[in-house]
Structure 1
């Protein structure tokens, strides 16, 4: 499969992201590995080269536009699935100390194969987010936690903020119409030690839309969070 490298390069450049030929080659390898594994396990409904380039790669790289990521930052991608948004970002910023966390072992197997194919160094962990958030080796250990997820933001905050150091960021990639969801989530975000810094909105070249919510960790997450997933969904904060 050949992805549209020239258009991806020019689109990324509009957001200040300069993709080298080597990085574009690796993104093409990523696309091929994704489609190959997708025949065995369900990773994505997006399998056309131009759609992968825009809806997966460019969309993921917006994270690097939305925040100033410090050199050698530690980043955990919670419920990473097929590695979005963090693996494309790692291809551009090799200095990132990357941890990929997912609850399905078959996705971790894919990520292990992917990282080997791309020569990407990462720590890939098979665990549920709420288990990881209570693990002393992971809790409040990261400069940035990110998730590109369909979960409601108030639930996502409980899964992700426990991983973030005080002073670090939780960055959520969400749909475009986020205002009501954000209002509903503010109480949870505050309870978990976070504060909304900004919401950035993007319209991609194919007219798909994205909001990126940047939340700063201003105080430690109380020890009782995260709760069990059933409790989180049944009684959201």
Structure 2
């Protein structure tokens, strides 16, 4: 884990020995559960540390210090990027949304094993959460990685974001094209112009992008639409 600490430091992020121990245990759990559940195609420790842990931590280069803030991770999968951000900022109030039951069970197991507080795991669809008063427009940051193309994704994310908060999507080389295509949907849902920040991970040929969207207006009541409709008929 020393290498992870060095790589995080290159992005201006400091990890303490207790935090590194938590990452080591998270890695153990991921590798063990992955034998049965196929949580990730990345099965080597070095790959997990680079392409899951460090990749998630780089979100903090645009969010800044998340201590005490409310963040919801939609389509969290094996916990990325939400759980690494929680380990970096222990007082972060985190909600992990994962509709696939086996993945949600893994997330709950990690939270329990690491004795994390201020974390909720919800095995629900984002379209439903976005219409619930307990979640609609309640979060400072709404984040997602590899869930859907942006014009679909924003209908999952922007309804959960408070006015004045931001959406963050981790995207590949298609980020700029997706942002342009999603512009009408973003405006409809209350978002402002997206901003793209390139991130270059060590040893990776292509940069990826942290795409942030400020929320400047409330989302109209009709959004998000019922489950499945955003993907079937994107805005």
Contact 1:132 1:139 (C-alpha < 8 Å) held by counterparts: yes
Aligned to 2:135: 138
Shift of the alpha carbon at 1:69? 4.0
Residue 224 of structure 1 aligns to a residue whose secondary structure is coil
| Equivalence map 1:62-211=2 (5 Å) | 62-121=58-117, 122-207=119-204, 209-211=207-209
TM-score normalised to structure 1 length: 0.95
Q: Which runs of 4+ in 1 moved over 6 A?
A: none
Aligned to 1:228: 226
| Structure 1 alignment gaps of length 5 or more | none
Shift of the alpha carbon at 1:230? 3.0
* Residues 225 and 69 (structure 1), Cα distance of their counterparts in 2 relative to 1, 3 Å cut: farther
Is 1:29 the counterpart of 2:25? The answer is: yes
Q: Which residue of the other structure, out of 198, 214, 217, is the alignment partner of 1:216?
A: 214
* Residues 20 and 11 (structure 1), Cα distance of their counterparts in 2 relative to 1, 3 Å cut: same
Counterpart CA distance in 1 for 2:115 and 2:62 is: 26
Deviations, residues 78-123 of structure 1 (Å, cap 9, x unaligned): 1111110010011010110011111112211111110111222201
Shift of the alpha carbon at 1:197? 4.5
Deviations, residues 36-72 of structure 1 (Å, cap 9, x unaligned): 1111212100110110000000000011112224531
Deviations, residues 119-162 of structure 1 (Å, cap 9, x unaligned): 22201111011111111111111111100124100100000111
Is 1:47 the counterpart of 2:43? The answer is: yes
Shift of the alpha carbon at 1:7? 1.6
Contact 1:144 1:171 (C-alpha < 8 Å) held by counterparts: yes
Shift of the alpha carbon at 1:234? 2.3
